[in-house]
Structure 1
Amino acid sequence: MPAARLAIASPGPTLTPAQLELTAWQRQVQYQISTGESTPSYAFCLPAAGQPMHWGYYSCNGFSASVKADAPERQDPTYLWRDLLQLHSAFPLHCLVGGGDQLYCDGVFRAEGSAALKAWGEQTEHSKKLSSPWTDEMEEQATAYYCAHYIATFSQADVSTALACIPQLNMWDDHDIFDGYGSYEADMQGCPVLQGLFGVARRFYLLFQQHTTDAFNAQHKEFLGANDGSSFHYLRYMGPQVVLLGIDMRSERSKARILPEATYELLEEAVAALPTGPQHLVVLSGVPLIFPAVPAAEGILGGIARLARGMPRFRSLVRRTGLMDRFDQPEILDDLLDGWVANAHKGERLQFIRLLQRFSERQNLRVSIVSGDAHVGGVGRLYSRPKIKPLGDDPLFMVQIISSAIMNAPPGHQVVKMLLRTNWARRVDERTKEKMVRAFYPTHPRTDKLIAQRNWCDISLVAPPFAPPTVPQDPNFGGLRFTMRVENARHRRGCAEEVYYIIVPRHPAAPRALVSTGTHHGEAAKSAVPAAVALPTRRWTTGEASVVH
C-alpha cells in the first residue's frame, strides 16, 4: 500500500491511494472513513484474478438549464441510479465508467456561480471580453463554485451510494468544464478569462474524477504520453479480455480539431504495445462517432455567428432574441460543432475511423465504441463495403453504443424525429459504410433508431460466470454484451422498464486465446477454455438481440 497522499486543500484533508491484489475468488472489500463525528463503513467488489469484469457505462449526470422544473426527470432525478444499485446488489459491478458530463458546471456563469463571470458574460462588446483579465475575484469565486458543485452533485442520494461502493473510471466532456468548451472561436477560447476558468475546472476534475493532482501524476505517470498535464488519455484493463481506451477529447480541442495530430500517434503506439491476450478494445468517445447530421442548421447558425462578430448592432439585436449566448455565437451552435459528424470535423472523423480500423486489423481486436453527450440512446455500426456476411466475419465491423443520459432529460420527440429524417446508411470511404441500427424494435417502431428516454449501459463478457453455460462453439461465446437499461418515465415500475441486449462478437481472426472464467482455486483461476476461432452469426434461442443481424 503506497504512502503517497493527495492534498485536497491546503490546509485540509488528504487521500491515501491503495493497491489491492486480486485473489482466486471474487471478494468484497470493506473500508471506513472517519469524519470525526462518525465512522461510516462501505464496501466494493473486486473480481477474481483472471475473471472478466462486470462494469457499467453512463453519461450526463445532471440537468441542462433548459430542462423545466416540472419535467418528469426532475421529479425523480436519480431513478436510474437506483436501478443501477438494484442490479449491483444482485450482480456486483466491479467498475463504473463515466463517459462525460458527470456534472453540469454551466452555472459558474450565473449569479449562484460567480458574479464576476456573470458580469463578464453580459458585456456587449466582444473585444472587451477578449481583453478582460482573469482576476483574483474570478479565481476565488470559480474555485468555491466548482468545489461546492462537485460535493453537491456527488452527494445526491443514490449517486453517493454508487460512488461509495463501485470503483470509478471517468473521462470529462464539456459540461464538466462549462458548456461548449473547445468549440468556440480561437480568440474566445484562448482569452484570459476562459483559460483561467479552464484551469480551475481542470484542477477539480483531476481531484474528484481522476483522484490525482498534477504533482502526484508527475511522479506516478497515470496517463498515456508525457504526463505533462496537457491531456488525460488512458488504457485500462476491464479483465484480461477487454481493454478500455479512454480518449480525452476536451483538453486540447479546438474549433478546427477534436484531437491534435500528435495524439493519433500516441494512441496508435499505446494500443500497438498491448499484449496478445485482449480480444475486445472498447473506445470511449465522449461525443458519438456515428450519428445523424443536420448540415443545413450548422451552416445557417455559422452564418449568423460570422455576421454577429463583424456587426456589433446585429450582435446586440440577436442577443436580445435569446439566440446568442454569452460567448457571442448562436446558442446551439456549440452543440452542432461539438460532434464528430459536424462538417468542420469531416476530415478528422475519417482519420479517427481509420485509426480504429488499424487497431482491428493489426491486432485482431474487435473494436467497439461507447459514447454519450446526445441525451438519447442509440446503436450504430461501421462495416465493410461491400458488406461481408455474416457481420461477425467482418474485421471492420464496429458497434457504437450511445448511452445518454442517466439523469438529464432527453430532447423533445420532434427534435429526434428531425434527426432521424437524415438517417440512412452512408458511405464513409471506399471500403467502409455506416448506419444506425434498429436496436429497439419491436418495442419501438422500426424507424426509431434513437430513443428519447434516459438510460445507462451494463457491460459483461458472454462467458462464465456472466452467461448461461456455453461451449466455445456457441456463436456469441467470448462476445461483449452491452445491455441498455432504459427508463419509461410515463410508466415507472421501480427499475428500468425497457432492456435491450447488443452482443458484439470477437474479431474473426482472434487467436485461440484463453477465455478465463475466474471460478477455480489457485493456479486454476488462470486456466480457461479455448476460444472459438470463427464466429458464425445467428440469433440466440433465448431471444437475446445481436446487432450482427
Structure 2
Amino acid sequence: MHLAAIFVAPAGQSVPPVCVDDGAVPVEPLLAYGSAHLWRARFVRPANAPSAYEWDGTRYDLASDLSGDLRLAYASCNGEEHGDMDRHEDERNAMWAHLAAQHREAPFALLLHGGDQVYADEATQGHPLSEEWPDSLPRDPLPHDLDDLRVHLRERFAARYIAQLKHADYAWLVARVPSLAQWDDHDICDGWGSLRRSRTYSPVGQVLFDVAKEAALAFQHGTVAGDLPPRFADPAGYHLNWAIEAPGLRLLGPDLRSERTRRQVMDTGGWADVEAHAGAVFEGRTLVMSSVPLLGPRLSILEALMVLTPKMQKYEDDLRDQWQSRAHRDSWRRMLRLMMQMQEQDGQDVTILSGEIHLATRATMGTLNGQVLQQLVASGITHRPPPKAWARTLGALSRLGEAPLPGHRIRIRRIPGQKLRYVAERNALVLARRGDQWQAVWHFEHSGPSPALTL
C-alpha cells in the first residue's frame, strides 16, 4: 500500500518524521496557505498483513491486509451549503463518531469518500469578483484582481478542509484508515459543470475551479498537479479517474466533474479509461463509485416542470447534475452498457456505490445473462436529511419505472428493515467481505444499522 499522510502546521514550524519498520520517513512541504502550511510524507506498508506507522510518539494501526476478510466504509455529503463552518462539532459529526466506534470494534481497511468532502459554496462570498457568483460576474476583470481573488479563495477552501481535520472523531478515523476520494460539485461549488458556460468558462469560474482542484488534490489525495500517484489514469490530471486493484477486489473512481459540461458528463479521456476497465479481464468484486446515482427514477418529468416554472428554474442545475437528465441521456445509456459489460463477465460482480441525494436507498437492474447489477446509495454523513415528504415523493416517482436500455428496467428497492424506498436519515455504508461473500449494512443516525444485505 502506497500511502500519503498529510499534516497542517503553522508557517515556520517543521513536522517530525513518520516512522515505519525500516526507518524514518521525512515529512516534506506540500503547499502553503497563508499562515498554515500543508506537509506530506509518502511511505509504503504491506497490503497482505496488518501494519502500522508512528508519528510524534503515537502508533497508528492499519487494517492493511486486503487479501482476505475485510471491511470498507463509504460516506458522502460531508457538510452543508450554508453555515457549515458554524455548526456544533458534536451535532455535525455524529455519524463520524459512529464510524470511529465501528472501527474500534472491527477495523476498516479503507474509507471511501463518495463526493462533497467539503461544501465550498460560501467560499466565493466576501470578494467583489465572486460575491454574486454565479448570478452576476464582472465582464472583464483585471489580472491583478483575479490574482487577489485566487488568494481569497485559496484561504477559504483551506479553512474548510482544515476545520474538518480539527474535528476529533474525523481526525482520529482518517489517521487510521487509508482514504480514497472522489469529488463532486460542492467540492468546487454547487452545480459545477451544470451551470451555464458563461459562468464556468469565465475568468472567475476558471480561477474557482483551479483553486478547488488544487485543494482537492492536496487535502483529499495528498498530492499536487504534476505529481499524481499511479492510481490516476491521466498523469496530467485533465480528469481524475483512478483505479485500485487488490486480490478479488477492484475499486474504480471515475471523475464526473472535471470534464463535465451542460451537455456531457465525461470527455474523451474519462470515457476511454472507463471503457478500458470495462473490457479488462477481472475476477472478483468491482466497486464502482458514481458520485451521482447511476440507477435512479425517472427525473425527466421533474426536470421539465422545473424549466416551465419560473420559481423552480434555480433548481435546474440540480437535476442536470443527474445521469437521468434529458441532456445526459446518451451518456447515461453508455455508462449503463459499460456496467453491464463488466457484470456479464465470467467471475466478476459489479456493485455501484453512490451518494449526493442526502438520502439512502438501493437499486437494481437486470443484465442480458440474467444477472443483477446492484447500486447502494449512502448520502448524508453530516448533511441533514431533506423532509420525509421529499423521500416519499421520490419513492412515488420510482414506481413509474425507468428503462433507459430497453428490456432492462431499473428498480428502486427498499433497504432491509426499511418501509420506504428512500430513507431520510443521516447515514453511512459498511461493506464486508468474508471468504467470497460480500454484505452491505447501512448505519442510520436514529434507526441504527440495517439488517445485512447479501450482494
Same fold (TM over 0.5): yes
- What is residue 56 of structure 1 aligned with on the other side? 73
| Aligned equivalent of 1:467 | none
Residue aligning to 2:442 = 484
Separation of aligned partners in 2, 1:411 and 1:269: 38
In structure 2, the CA distance between the partners of 1:49 and 1:158, relative to structure 1 (3 Å rule), is closer
| Cα pair distance change 1:29/1:137, threshold 3 Å | same
The verdict on how the C-alpha distance between 1:3 and 1:165 changes in structure 2, with shifts beyond 3 A counting, is closer
**Identity fraction in percent:** 23
Distance 1:257 1:364 in 2: 32
Counterpart in 1 of 2:429? 457
Distance 1:402 1:141, change over 3 A: same
Aligned residue number for residue 267 of structure 2: 260
Q: Does 1:297 align with 2:302?
A: yes
Query: 2: CA distance between counterparts of 1:231 and 1:353?
Result: 20
1:125-144 equivalent positions in 2, closer than 5 A: 129=138, 131-132=140-141, 135-144=146-155
Q: Which moved more, 1:265-274 or 1:182-191?
A: 265-274
Matching of residue 348 in structure 1 with residue 356 in structure 2: no
- Tell me if 1:500 matches 2:444: no
1:301-330 Cα offsets, whole Å, 9 max, x none, are 3346xxxxxxxxxxxxx7xxxx58xxxxx3
1:422 corresponds in structure 2 to 397
1:46 matched residue in structure 2: 63
Match of 1:439 among 402, 415, 419: 415
Matched letter for residue 286 of structure 2: L
Taking only aligned residues, the RMSD between alpha carbons, in angstroms, comes to 2.8
Mapped to 2, the partners of 1:205 and 1:90 lie a distance apart of 30
Deviations 1:139-179 (A, max 9, x none): 11001111111101222121111111111110100011111
The residue that corresponds to 1:198 in the other structure is: 209
Change (3 A) 1:260 1:90: same
Could you tell me which residue of structure 1 aligns to residue 112 of structure 2? Answer: 97
Count of matched residue positions in the alignment of Structure 1 and Structure 2? 427
Q: 1:53 to 1:131 in 2, by over 3 A?
A: farther
CA distance 1:8–1:332, shift in 2 (3 Å): same
Kindly indicate whether residue 161 of structure 2 is the aligned counterpart of residue 186 of structure 1.
Answer: no
Q: Do residues 245 (structure 1) and 268 (structure 2) align?
A: no
Mapped to 1, the partners of 2:299 and 2:38 lie a distance apart of 49
Cα deviation per residue 1:249-295 (whole Å; 9 max; x = unaligned)? 00000111111244222222234345x4x311111000001222343
How big is the shift at 1:183?
0.4
1:6–1:213 contact (8 Å) kept in structure 2 = no
Q: Which has the larger radius of gyration?
A: 1
Q: Which has the higher strand share?
A: 2
* 1:454 partner letter: R
Decide which of 237, 255, 271 is 1:229's aligned counterpart. Answer: 237
Q: Write the distance in 2 (CA, Å) between the matches of 1:6 and 1:280.
A: 37
Distance (Å, rounded) in 1 between the aligned partners of 2:448 and 2:139: 49
- The match for 1:339 among 301, 311, 322 is 322
Find 2:124's aligned residue among 87, 109, 127: 109
Q: Measure how far apart 1:14 and its partner are.
A: 3.4
- Whichever residue aligns with residue 423 of structure 1, its letter is S
Q: Is the 8 A contact 1:42 1:164 kept in 2?
A: no
For residue 380 of structure 1, give the secondary structure of its aligned residue in structure 2. Answer: strand
Q: Aligned partners of 1:500, 1:480: CA distance in 2, in Å? A: 13
1:293 partner SS: coil
Query: Which letter maps to 1:154?
Result: L
The 2-side partners of 1:261 and 1:139 are apart by 29
Q: Which whole-Å CA distance do the structure 2 matches of 1:44 and 1:100 have between them?
A: 26
Contact kept, 8 Å, 1:369 with 1:400, in 2: the verdict is: yes
CA displacement at 1:412 relative to structure 2: 0.6
Structure 1 length-normalised TM? 0.72
What does 1:3-42 correspond to in 2, within 5 Å?
A: 7-9=30-32, 12=37, 14-22=39-47, 26-32=49-55, 39=56, 41-42=58-59
- 2:360 corresponds to: 377
The aligned residue for residue 531 of structure 1 is none
SS state at 1:169 partner: strand
In structure 1, give the amino acid aligned to 2:238.
S
User: Which residue is equivalent to 2:13?
Assistant: none
TM-score, normalised to structure 2, is 0.86
Residues 14, 79 of structure 1: alpha-carbon distance in 2 compared, 3 angstrom cutoff? closer
2:9 aligned residue: none
Does structure 2 retain, via aligned residues, the 8 Å contact 1:59–1:101? yes
- Partner amino acid for 1:21? P
Amino acid at match of 1:335: D
How has the CA–CA distance of structure 1 residues 451 and 204 changed in structure 2, closer, same or farther, with 3 Å as cutoff? Answer: same
Alpha-carbon distance in structure 2 between the residues aligned to 1:462 and 1:485: 19
Which shows bigger deviation, 402-411 or 5-14? 5-14
Q: Deviations over 1:484-536 (max 9, x none)?
A: 11111xxxxxxx623232211xxxxxxxxxxxxxxxxxxxxxxxxxxxxxxxx
Given that residues 139 and 197 in structure 1 are in contact (C-alpha distance below 8 angstroms), is that contact kept between their aligned partners in structure 2? yes
Find the aligned partners of 2:67 and 2:89 in 1 and give their Cα distance: 41
Residues 231, 428 of structure 1: CA spacing in aligned structure 2 closer, same or farther, 3 A cutoff? same
Residues 1:260 and 1:119: Cα distance change in structure 2 (over 3 Å): closer
1:167 corresponds to 2:178: yes
Distance in 1, matches of 2:102 and 2:33, equals 39
Give the corresponding residue for 1:272: 279
Q: Give ranges in structure 2 of 5+ residues lacking alignment.
A: 1-21
Q: Do the aligned residues in 1 keep the contact of 2:319 with 2:325 (CA within 8 Å)?
A: yes
The change in CA–CA distance for 1:299 and 1:122 in structure 2 (over 3 A counts) is: closer
Q: Does 1:409 align with 2:392?
A: no
Answer yes or no: is the 8 Å Cα contact 1:379–1:400 preserved in 2. yes
Code of the residue aligned with 1:31 in structure 2: it is E
Match for 1:65 among 78, 82, 88?
A: 82
